[in-house]
Structure 1
Amino acid sequence: MHQFLPYAWFQGQCVPFEEARISIATHALHYGTGAFGGMRAIPDPQSSGSMLLFRADRHARRLSRSARLLLTDLSEATILEALTAMLQANKPQQPIYLRPFVYTSDLGIAPRLHDIETDFLIYGLPLGDYLSPDGVSCRISSWTRQEDRSLPLRGKISGAYITSSLAKTEAVQSGFDEALLLNSRGKISEASGMNLFLVRDGQLITPGVDQDILEGITRASVIELAKAMQIPVVERPVDKTELFIADEVFLTGTAAKITPIRQIESTQMNTDRPVMTALKTRLVSITEGRDTAYEHWVTRIPIA
């Protein structure tokens, strides 16, 4: 059973989680006309009384842009103010995951985005490791990642996640932890909710933004860190067979953080992952507010 934070942001204010209710006729419930974000917040290890949010500005910007794809105006400032109010109301004492969500709250039955009411909410729950830090097993999904010409994939549009759900369940029910999806051109796109990286001959390689991926914030952070650490980075199409001969393969995402892939289909992957380990160590240091070079990536919110 899930344990949610006591207070949610709902209809412009903090309310008890149990009171944040929507109608069964809500438009977004039927048509997937919503967009969400995912953020991690942790207690500040350096001082009590505050929470650390990783790249809060980038998360707010992406959600604001996702809302724009739904013809909705939701400013970055509004998102950050609501996040602050919610954290201060809940005063969490453990690492949490926050889910902001903008959606069509209208009760009409016509599938549309014009002349329709919208709203914005946030809830949260305690969250440790979403995937095993020891590594996950993956299969190549029989489901294909959608194309940008059919869905606005640069936003985290809720309706798009039916494919992720189908792929994830297919993987788990066939004995794997996670799914890797190909795009319509037969190239590796991403996992069910994470971006993918591989290492070959010292190069860090990841599918580019033209491969129907979500423009992940953790992905962008890893690329920026790698370049600063003098690790060559290449963004390009990735073939399925490259995964089986790669030196390292790992996933990135807000929930997944940096998670190694230990097996793809029947192939066992290398357990020596120096590039991934170096990047993960640096990213953990940043998210915990211990890396002065990247202080601007962390937002401290007082909750005491």
Structure 2
Amino acid sequence: MPDFLPIAYFEGNFVPFKDANISIATHALHYGTGAFGGLRGTINPQNPKQVLLFRLDRHCKRLSNSAKYLHYDLPATKIYDVIKDFVSKNAPTNPFYIRPFVYTSDLGVAPRLHNIEKNFFVYGLEMGDYLSPDGISCRISSWYRQEDRSLPLRGKISGAYITSALAKTEAVDAGFDEAILMNSQGKVCEATGMNIFMVRNDKLITPSFDQDILEGITRDSVITIAKNLGLEVEQREIDKTELFIADELFLCGTAAKVTPVKRVENYHLSPERPITTKIKETLTAITENRDPNYQDWITVIDL
């Protein structure tokens, strides 16, 4: 069982995590009418009395936008203030993950977003590596990513993640670590909860927003880092067969950070990953507040 942080924010108050419970009749539980965020907290290696949060403002803005899809007006400033208080009250001593969640909190059985109560909670848990930092194997999933015309894929809508769950279990049951999903046009989309990057001929390539991907915050960070390192970045359609002959391949996300891919199906990729390694090292330095060029990405909370 995960090591949950002792305090949660629930129904407008900070309460013990064990007391933050919802009814089995909660609307969002039945219809997937929720949206979530996720961000990591790092203990400052130079000062254990400080917690570092990576791009907190962007995470709060994305969750606020996700809430709009649920017809819920939740200002990003409100989320920002609650998360800062949440961290202060928990005073964590190990790396951790924060999960803010907005949802339809009424008790009922009619699928709708009008005339229904919405709410917002936050909890956290200690978290180390989500995937092996040494590299993972991926299979091409038989499940396809949804289309933006049927789901608001720019928001992290909870109901949409049934596809990720199906794809992840299919991959693990087949002996792989992770799944890569195609979109409805048969182009590379993303992994089960991560964006994907490919290196070919010293160029960093990733699916563009019109490929039904999530607008990942780590993805955006990687693109900025790569450009600042002098790399050419291209956002476009990617064919499945390109993955098999890529010079380097990696996944990225809040939980996964930057995770190299060593095998796709039965195609083994090179163990030499100079670009992946450089981006990963830079991102790690940023999240630990060791890179002065990106200090505006870090929120420091004194405990």
Shorter-chain TM-score bucket reads: over 0.9
Paired residue secondary structure (2:175): coil
2:205 corresponds in structure 1 to 205
What is the TM-score with the length of structure 2 in the denominator?
0.99
Corresponding residue for residue 295 of structure 1: 295
CA distance in 2, matches of 1:84, 1:15: 15
Deviations 1:199-245 (A, max 9, x none): 00000000000000000000000001111111000000000000001
- Residue 174 (structure 1) aligned with residue 174 (structure 2): yes
Distance 2:275 2:2 in 1: 35
Match of residue 83 from structure 1: 83
User: Matches of residues 20-35 of structure 1 in structure 2 within 5 Å?
Assistant: 20-35=20-35
What does 1:39-118 correspond to in 2, within 5 Å?
A: 39-118=39-118
1:48 Cα deviation (Å)?
2.9
Structure 1 residue 183: Cα displacement: 0.3
Structure 1, residues 14-46: CA drift from partner, whole Å, max 9, x if none?
A: 100010010000000000000000100011112
CA distance in structure 2 between the aligned counterparts of 1:238 and 1:260, rounded to whole angstroms:
18
**How far is the alpha carbon of 1:13 from its aligned partner?**
1.4
Provide the residue aligned with 1:148 in structure 2.
148
5 Å matches for 1:116-195? 116-195=116-195
1:70-119 per-position Cα deviation (integer Å, ceiling 9, x unaligned): 11011111101111111111110010000000000010110000110011
For residue 253 of structure 1, what is the amino acid of its counterpart?
G
What is the one-letter code of the residue matched to 1:24? I
Which SS does the other structure have where 2:116 is aligned?
Answer: coil
Q: Which amino acid aligns with 1:231?
A: L
Within 2, Cα distance between the matches of 1:49 and 1:173? 42
Look up the equivalent residue of 2:157 and give its one-letter code.
Answer: I
Aligned match of 1:280 = 280
Post-superposition, which runs of at least 4 consecutive aligned residues in structure 1 deviate over 6 A? none
Q: How many residues align?
A: 303
Amino acid at match of 1:247: D
Q: Partner of 1:217 in structure 2?
A: 217
* 1:246-289 per-position Cα deviation (integer Å, ceiling 9, x unaligned): 10000000000000001100111111000111111111000000
Runs of at least 5 residues in structure 2 that lack an aligned partner in the other structure: none
Task: Give the whole-Å Cα distance in 2 for the aligned partners of 1:17 and 1:136.
Answer: 33
The DSSP-based 3-state class of the residue aligned with 1:5 is coil
Could you give the per-residue CA deviations for residues 113-147 of structure 1, whole angstroms, max 9, x where no partner exists? 01100110001000000000011100000000000
> What SS does structure 2 have at the residue aligned with 1:234?
strand
* Aligned twin of 1:253: 253
User: Which ranges of structure 1 fall in alignment gaps of 5 or more residues?
Assistant: none
The percent of aligned pairs where both chains have the same amino acid is 62
One-letter code aligned to 1:193: G
Tell me how far apart the structure 1 counterparts of residues 172 and 180 of structure 2 sit (CA, whole Å): 12
**Matched residue of 2:160: which SS?**
helix
Q: Distance in 1 between matches of 2:21 and 2:11?
A: 10
| In 2: Cα distance, 1:2 partner to 1:287 partner | 23
SS of residue in 2 equivalent to 1:123: strand
- For 2:49 and 2:150, the matched residues in 1 are separated by 45
**CA distance in structure 1 between the partners assigned to 2:133 and 2:293 by the alignment:** 26
Partner AA of 1:182 in structure 2: M
Using the size of structure 1 for normalisation, the TM-score is: 0.99
SS state of the match for residue 210, structure 1? helix
The 3-state SS of whatever aligns with 2:150 is coil
Q: State the alpha-carbon separation in 1 of the partners of residues 44 and 122 from structure 2.
A: 21
2: CA distance, partners of 1:13 / 1:295: 31
CA distance in 2 between partners of 1:2 and 1:231 (Å): 39
The letter of the residue matching 1:107 is L
Structure 1 Cα separation of the partners of residues 201 and 4 of structure 2: 44
